[in-house]
C-alpha cells in the first residue's frame, strides 16, 4: 500500500508519516518545502499545495489511499481567504483529484470545530448537528465545508472516514502550534474564559489515522478525545497547580476581543484574544471519544501524561523561555 499524506511536514502530518513508516507502509507526502525532517529522508516528497486539482491527480497516481492532514488554523479574520482556500476549496480539489486517480480510501482529519459545541456544559457525539455557522468563525465554517466535501466523495466513489479531534497536544511540535496557549497557561492566570476544551495526544490521532486505512466504517465520523476540561481545568493541567480561577463573562470577554483585535491592527503586534476567539471561548468543545476506542481497539493516552511530555519537549528545545 502507498499512502498520500497532505501536510506531511506539519505537527500532525509528521506524526502520521512516522506512524506509517513504522508500519512499513510506503508514503508520498505533500509538503510546502521539498524537505521533511531528517528521519523521514526515505519518504517520497512532492512540493505543492491543494490549489490545482490536475496537479493533485498527477501526484496521486500510484497511491492507494489518502490521509488528509493539511489545514490552515487561524482565528483572525485577515486569514479568511487562506482558511477557505486551503480547508474548503483545497479539500474539494483533493477529493475530486482522488476520485479521478481511483483512490480507494480517504481519511480526512477534520476538527471538533466543524462538529459544533454546547453553550453550557455538554458532551458532543458523532451525530451532533453543526450549530456554529451564525458565530461567523471562518476556521469552523471552512472545516465544516471540508467535511461535506469528503462525505460527497464517499457517495461518488471512494471509502471515506472523518476523524474529528479536539485540541491536539503532544511532543515534537516542530511548528509550535500549541506554544502560545501553553505560555499563556503557564502564567497561571486567575481569570479564564468560561467555556471548555477537550484534549487528545497527537500520537493517538496519528495511530488512529493509520488504523483507519483498513478499519472503521465508510462514511462515518469518529470524535477523538482523551479528556474534557473547563478552561480553568486546562490551565491546571498545564501548570500542575490547581487553584481557584474566576470565569470571565461574555459581557466582558467579547468587548475585550474587539479591543485587542483593534490594537493588533493599529500596532501590528499579535494579541492573545481576537474577536473570533472571544466568541468561541464561551462554548464547550467537549467530546465523547469512546466510539473510536471501541471500533479501533485502543486506549487514549491520559491527558496528564500527554501534557507532561508536551511541556518536556518544549523545555528541552528551550522554546518556553522565548
| Tens-digit pLDDT profile for residues 265-286 | 888 888 888 999 999 999 999 9
Q: Is there a contact between 176 and 209 (Cβ–Cβ < 8 Å)?
A: no
Give the model's confidence band at 225: pLDDT under 50 very low, under 70 low, under 90 confident, else very high.
very high
* Nearest-angstrom CA–CA distance, 146 and 125: 19
Distance from C-alpha of 303 to C-alpha of 240, rounded to nearest angstrom: 12
Q: How many CB atoms lie within 10 A of CB 233?
A: 17
For residue 164, what is the domain's CATH number?
Answer: 3.40.50.720
From the CB of residue 47, how many other CB atoms can be counted at a distance below 10 Å?
A: 11
Asked if residue 279 belongs to a domain, the reply is: no
Q: Is the pLDDT of residue 36 over 70?
A: no
Query: How far apart (Å, rounded) are the C-alpha atoms in residues 169 and 199?
Result: 7
Please say if the pLDDT value at position 40 is more than 80.
no
Amino acid 321: pLDDT:
82
Beta bridge partners of 192: 247
284: Cβ contacts below 8 Å, ≥ 6 apart: 117, 118, 119, 120, 121, 122, 195, 196, 197, 228
Cell 451564525, residue located: 134
Give residue 296's pLDDT: 97
Task: State the residue range of the domain holding 40.
Answer: 2-172+199-228+286-301
Question: Is pLDDT above 60 for 35?
Answer: no
Average pLDDT over residues 211-221: 97
Do 234 and 286 contact (CB within 8 A), yes or no? Answer: no
**Rounded distance between C-alpha atoms, residue 145 and residue 141, angstroms:** 6
Look at residue 297 in the predicted model and tell me its pLDDT. 96
| Domain-embedded: residue 155 | yes
For residues 192 and 185, what is the distance between their CA atoms, to the nearest angstrom? 9
Instruction: Determine, yes or no, domain membership for 191.
Output: no
Model pTM?
0.95
Q: Determine, yes or no, domain membership for 168.
A: yes
| pLDDT at residue 266, as a whole number | 86
Measured at the CA of 167, the angle between CA 82 and CA 291, to 5 degrees, comes to 115
Q: What average pLDDT score do residues 245-266 get?
A: 89
- 152 pLDDT above the threshold of 60: yes
Scanning the chain, the segments in alpha helix (DSSP H) are: 11-22, 53-60, 80-83, 91-101, 138-156, 179-186, 202-211, 231-239, 250-267, 275-280, 290-296, 303-316
In Å, what is the CA distance from 150 to each residue of 38, 41, 98, 263? Answer: 32, 30, 10, 38
User: What is the model's pLDDT at position 69?
Assistant: 98
Q: What is the pLDDT of residues 48-77, one digit of tens each?
A: 999 999 999 999 999 999 999 999 999 998
Is the distance from CB of 178 to CB of 313 less than 8 angstroms? no
What is the total count of domains within the chain? 1
Q: Establish if 71 belongs to a structural domain.
A: yes
Most confidently modeled range among 32-36, 41-45, 141-145, 172-176:
141-145
Average pLDDT score, the chain: 94
Q: Is residue 258 part of a domain?
A: no
Q: For residue 101, is it within any domain? A: yes
Residue 273 lies in a domain: no
Q: Is 49 helix (H, G, I), strand (E, B) or coil?
A: coil
Q: What does the alpha-carbon distance between residue 138 and residue 79 come to, in Å, rounded to a whole number?
A: 8
Mean pLDDT value of segment 129-134: 94
Residue 171 backbone phi and psi in degrees, to 5: -80, 175
Amino acid at each position: 500500500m502507498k499512502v498520500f499524506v497532505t501536510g506531511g511536514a506539519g505537527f500532525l502530518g509528521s506524526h502520521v508519516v512516522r506512524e506509517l513508516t513504522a508500519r512499513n507502509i510506503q508514503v508520498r507526502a505533500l509538503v510546502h518545502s521539498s524537505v521533511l525532517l531528517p528521519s523521514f529522508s526515505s519518504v517520497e516528497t512532492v512540493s505543492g499545495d491543494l490549489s490545482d486539482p490536475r496537479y493533485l491527480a498527477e501526484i496521486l497516481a500510484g497511491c492507494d489511499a489518502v490521509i488528509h492532514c493539511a489545514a490552515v488554523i487561524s482565528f483572525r479574520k485577515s486569514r479568511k481567504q487562506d482558511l477557505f482556500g486551503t480547508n474548503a476549496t483545497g479539500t474539494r480539489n483533493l477529493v475530486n483529484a482522488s476520485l479521478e486517480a481511483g483512490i480507494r480510501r480517504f481519511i480526512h482529519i477534520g476538527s471538533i470545530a466543524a462538529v459544533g459545541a454546547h453553550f453550557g456544559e455538554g458532551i458532543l457525539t458523532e451525530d451532533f448537528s453543526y450549530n456554529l455557522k451564525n458565530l461567523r468563525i471562518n476556521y469552523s465554517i471552512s472545516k465544516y465545508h471540508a467535511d461535506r466535501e469528503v462525505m460527497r466523495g464517499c457517495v461518488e466513489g471512494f471509502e471515506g472516514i472523518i476523524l474529528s479531534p479536539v485540541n491536539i497536544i503532544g511532543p515534537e511540535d516542530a511548528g509550535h502550534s500549541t506554544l502560545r496557549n501553553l505560555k499563556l497557561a503557564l502564567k497561571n492566570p486567575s481569570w479564564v474564559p468560561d467555556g471548555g476544551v477537550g484534549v487528545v495526544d497527537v500520537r493517538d490521532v496519528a495511530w488512529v489515522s493509520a488504523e483507519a486505512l483498513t478499519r472503521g466504517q465508510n462514511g462515518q465520523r469518529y470524535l477523538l478525545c482523551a479528556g474534557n476540561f473547563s478552561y480553568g481545568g486546562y490551565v491546571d493541567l498545564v501548570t500542575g497547580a490547581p487553584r481557584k480561577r474566576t470565569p470571565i463573562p461574555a459581557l466582558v470577554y467579547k468587548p475585550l476581543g474587539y479591543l485587542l483585535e483593534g490594537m493588533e491592527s493599529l500596532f501590528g503586534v499579535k494579541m492573545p484574544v481576537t474577536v473570533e476567539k472571544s466568541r468561541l471561548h464561551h462554548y464547550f468543545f467537549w467530546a465523547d471519544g469512546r466510539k473510536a476506542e471501541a471500533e479501533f481497539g485502543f486506549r487514549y493516552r491520559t491527558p496528564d501524561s500527554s501534557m507532561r511530555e508536551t511541556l518536556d519537549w518544549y523545555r528541552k528545545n528551550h522554546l518556553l523561555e522565548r
